[in-house]
Structures are given as structure tokens and as C-alpha cells.
Chain A
Amino acid sequence: QQQVKQSPQSLIVQKGGISIINCAYENTAFDYFPWYQQFPGKGPALLIAIRPDVSEKKEGRFTISFNKSAKQFSLHIMDSQPGDSATYFCAATPNDYKLSFGAGTTVTVRA
């Protein structure tokens, strides 16, 4: 079964807008939550990651918000650019290597 549920499946945002992707998990053993960005024909690349001892982490235009009690975390892409058009995967792991991925969100940024 899907251990990490991701939504929406796809979204379209105007250039300069905010993209928001949400993920939820059930396994309380998960303790590391990375986000990956994947362009067509390429493998996933690590974008940003968070541990559950912080509620927010920001790197440039990308921010992860983490709600431990609700077992939810989200990715915010501020000032979205056409170059951000890609598929984004949330993931989680309890044991350092076995990543459980969400189903992915295809983001399209319209110029």
C-alpha cells in the first residue's frame, strides 16, 4: 500500500505564483522527509529535506512545512518560474536508505 500519500496529482500555476504540494504519512517511524524534483527523461534529484524536529525549512524559493502531530508535510514553491516545471515527489524513510515515495505531482508553470 502507498505509505506516503501525495496531492494534487498535477497543478498549473502562473509565473510568479505559489505552488503547494501536500503529503501525508502513517508510519510514525519515518524520521527523514526529502523532496525530489524530476525532469522528463531524468532521474529524481534531491531538492530539499527536513527532519521532524523542525517545523519549517527554507532553501531559496523552496520551503518545506512539517506538522508532526498531523503527520503531514508540504512543499511550497514561491515565485514559480517556467524552469520549475517538473514532477515533484515527496518521500520518507525510517532507516536511512529505504525511501518510500509519494505518487508525484506534475507542476506546470505558465509564462
Chain B
Amino acid sequence: NAGVMQNPRHLVRRRGQEARLRCSPMKGHSHVYWYRQLPEEGLKFMVYLQKENIIDESGMPKERFSAEFPKEGPSILRIQQVVRGDSAAYFCASSSVLAVRTDTQYFGPGTRLTVL
């Protein structure tokens, strides 16, 4: 059973370009979470999605960032017009049920975004 998969693992973009990060949850998981890790900091919650629905996007910047989890295919985190401050590691996690207490969130290996 493959774990959470993220691609690309490394992404380099110039300022003003768009970045698309993909996350395939573990088989059977319908809950997806995105976290961002800035250098020297812990992971920060961005958004929680279920298939075709954004449940909680309270951690997402109001502009330039969007996320989706379509009925078919991976979850996508999209960053438009990237700036240097977007450089970070972006982690996706998935779970089979909502409660962290009853089923851990399984993390992918992350996508390291570098904005030149």
C-alpha cells in the first residue's frame, strides 16, 4: 500500500510564475490536508479538503493560493505569481477519518519550492 505521494519533490520557479503541487492520498483516504514549513519553523496548517469540497481554508493566504481535491485525480495546491517568501516545503497529509485521535494523518515527503 503506497503512502502519500507528492510531486514534484523539488520545484524551482521565478518570481511571477505559477507553481502547481500535487498530492495523491493513501488508498482509501478521503481527507487531505496541506501544511507549509518555512525555514527554521514548524509546519503550519493551510487547508483541509474532502473530495470536491474545501472544508477549512483558514490557514491559506487570502490571495494567490488555492487548493482543490477533484472527484478524480490528486489534490492540487496552486500558487499564482509566486514571490520569494513562498519558498518553503509544502507537505500534504491524508487520513481515512477526520479525527487525528483515531487515525493519524499520514504525511507525504513534501515538495520543496524555491522561488528565484
Contacts and interface: CB of A to CB of B under 8 A. Distances in A.
B43 A34 contact: no
Given A89-B43, A101-B42, A103-B41, A96 B107 contact: no
Interface stretch (A11-19, A36-44, A71-79): A36-44
Interface stretch (B62-70, B73-81, B93-101): B93-101
A34 to B, nearest CB: 7
A59 to B, nearest CB: 14
Interface residues of B, number: 27
Interface residues of A, number: 26
Contacts of B110: 42-43
Nearest to B42: A101
A97 B41 contact: no
Interface string A56-97: 000000000000000000000000000000000101010011
A34 B58 CA distance: 21
Contacts of B42: 2, 4, 6, 89, 91, 100-104
Interface of A: 2, 4, 6, 32, 34, 36, 41-46, 49, 51, 89, 91, 93, 96-104
Closest 10 CB pairs of A and B: A43-B107, A101-B42, A46-B104, A96-B99, A101-B43, A103-B42, A44-B107, A98-B45, A43-B108, A43-B109
